[in-house]
Amino acid sequence: MLENYLPILIFILVGILVGVGSLGLGYLLGPRRPDQEKDSPYECGFEAFENARLKFDVRYYLVAILFILFDLEIAFLFPWAVVLDDLGVFAFWSMVIFLGILVVGFIYEWKKGALEWE
Amino acid sequence: MIELWNSLPVVMQILLKITAILVPLLLLVAYYTYAERKVIGYIQIRIGPNRVGWRGWLQPIADALKLLFKEVVIPSKADKALYLMAPVITIGPAMAAWAVIPFDAGLVLSDINAGLLYVLALTSLGVYGIIIAGWASNSKYALLGAMRSAAQIVAYEIAMGFALVGVLVAAGSLNLGAIVEAQAGSVFTWFWLPLLPLFGVYLISGVAETNRAPFDVAEGESEIVAGFHVEYSGMAFAVFFLAEYANMILISALNALLFMGGWLSPLPQSWVAGVPLLDDGFHWFALKTGFFMFLFLWLRATFPRYRYDQIMRLGWKVFIPITIVWILVVALAVVYRLPPWWSA
């Protein structure tokens, strides 16, 4: 079984090599004429105002946190889904309870407005 | 011939097989960009590229050569190591995910049990490349584009993950080959019909995952220029471009495998068994994948861009409830062996 994963390891290395190789080729074949204006951050032709490391909206953090919660649910659901046919009715009702609790939380965050983007 | 093949070291065999997947894939990416410009051209009653070579057939080659000889500008304020790492992190998984895609019955590089999990893991890695690129560029547009793109990708990844759980429940396996075999029967036992809502969610989430129109606010050129890759030029940009198109082809292939029966023939087995071209085979898989690839272009030419709050609303408030309900419906049908699909 494990030898099936060798091609995957090699494929990942080849994939990285494709990226590094094309960047390397571009670096070798392309010109390099650095100049102060060209290397400054793009800002519609203006001199860049202040630092680009802006403060950004807290809603992005909220999305990230919600994502972790739900992605965890998916991680739980995956093994359950594969063996559901073998475990039968018991596994089904266990997951109904589990998803029920998840849905209560989902309704709560919906009502709290955590899903609004206004 | 077979003796020569067997006498090669195992690593060499694997490398040759990988080449046999990657070279057609890269060519397909190149001509997919050409097809995109042609198809959208004709939809908008234009001709599209027609200058380089016969009817513009050499256009993608010319584009690749041009990008190859352009300067890779590294902004002076950028974090150089991360800036150069981001394209590599984006393209690596986009290529490596093809290791477990079955092209025909048994025709797969690595026939692992955790195939679908592996694909899900690798497609999730794409978001790192985008965040790193946006942050390392030290440009406002790039940072804003990266934040938007990341939030959108993770929101739709949940809907996508739930849709995949539905497929797993129906197929009872993570192996992509076994998932296709589980759909055998007729067009109506392919998962698109019993899992119709999940199919719809997966199809649309796939477009959102790859940041394609109408979900392309991440690089909405009218507001934030090009989004996370605004500072990238030459080959560094080309690598992002390559990864985006490779991902679109991957999502199309997954749509074909998970919901449209992969290499299975749409005609009843009793009619077509043994008949060349009508029987199951790679050409059916290619045809279905090609259809979904065309759909990506068609959508881009047809729909105006979504607003960001609309995108988030669709992902969280529409898709997630649909998928949760349908997972339970499918699980109920599987456990209690409900007709018409799970009565056996």
Per-position DSSP letters for B82-113, written without gaps between them: HHHHHHHHHHHHHHHGGGG--SBTTB-S---T
Inspect the interface and report whether the beta carbons of B331 and A71 lie closer than 8 Å.
Answer: no
Inspect the interface and report whether the beta carbons of A41 and B231 lie closer than 8 Å.
Answer: yes
Query: pLDDT at residue B225 above 80?
Result: no
Chain B hits for A28, CB-CB cut-off 8 Å, are none
Cα distances (Å, whole numbers) of residue B12 to A12, B47, B92, B252 = 15, 45, 20, 30
Q: What is the pLDDT of residue B13?
A: 85
- Torsion, Cα B310 B316 B321 B322, to 10 degrees, reads 50
Residues 269-308 (B) with a CB less than 8 A from some CB of A: 308
- Please give the residue that has the higher pLDDT: either B280 or B202: B202
Residue in this structure with the two tokens 């960001």, named with its chain if needed: B308
Instruction: Report pTM.
Output: 0.92
Encode pLDDT of B63-101 as tens digits: 989 988 888 888 877 788 888 899 999 999 999 999 999
Q: What is the pLDDT of residue A97?
A: 92
pLDDT band at B211 (very low <50, low <70, confident <90, very high): confident
Inspect the interface and report whether the beta carbons of B230 and A42 lie closer than 8 Å.
Answer: yes
Query: pLDDT at residue A42 above 80?
Result: no
Inspect the interface and report whether the beta carbons of A67 and B157 lie closer than 8 Å.
Answer: yes
pLDDT band at B154 (very low <50, low <70, confident <90, very high): confident
On average, the pLDDT of chain B sits at: 87
Chain A hits for B154, CB-CB cut-off 8 Å, are 63-64, 67, 71
Query: pLDDT at residue B275 above 80?
Result: no
Q: Does B119 touch chain A (CB under 8 A)?
A: no
Inspect the interface and report whether the beta carbons of B165 and A74 lie closer than 8 Å.
Answer: yes
Inspect the interface and report whether the beta carbons of A118 and B242 lie closer than 8 Å.
Answer: no
Chain B hits for A11, CB-CB cut-off 8 Å, are 18, 95-96, 98-99, 109-110
Inspect the interface and report whether the beta carbons of B312 and A117 lie closer than 8 Å.
Answer: yes
B104 DSSP β-pair partners: B107
Q: What is the pLDDT of residue B199?
A: 93
Per mean pLDDT, which range of B157-161, B214-218, B241-245 is the poorest? B214-218
- Please give the residue that has the higher pLDDT: either B76 or B293: B293
Share of chain B above pLDDT 70, in %: 98
Chain B hits for A39, CB-CB cut-off 8 Å, are 73-76
Inspect the interface and report whether the beta carbons of A4 and B112 lie closer than 8 Å.
Answer: yes
Q: What is the pLDDT of residue B71?
A: 86
Q: Which of B113, B97, B85, B84 is nearest to B22 (CA)?
A: B97
- Considering only CB atoms, A82 lies closest to which of B22, B111, B168, namely B168
Inspect the interface and report whether the beta carbons of B144 and A115 lie closer than 8 Å.
Answer: no
Q: Does B335 touch chain A (CB under 8 A)?
A: yes
Task: Using DSSP, state whether B191 is helix, strand or coil.
Answer: coil
Q: Does B333 touch chain A (CB under 8 A)?
A: no
pLDDT band at B4 (very low <50, low <70, confident <90, very high): confident
**What is the ipTM for the molecules in this complex?**
0.88
Query: pLDDT at residue A48 above 70?
Result: no
Under 8 Å CB-to-CB from B327, ≥6 apart: which residues? A77, A99, B162, B165, B166, B169, B198
Q: How far apart are CA B232 and CA B72, in angstroms?
A: 7
pLDDT band at B248 (very low <50, low <70, confident <90, very high): very high
* Phi, psi dihedrals of residue B113, rounded to the nearest 5°: -70, -35
pLDDT band at A1 (very low <50, low <70, confident <90, very high): low
Query: pLDDT at residue A45 above 70?
Result: no
| A to B CB pairs, distance under 8 Å | 225
Can you tell me the mean pLDDT for B160-165?
Answer: 91
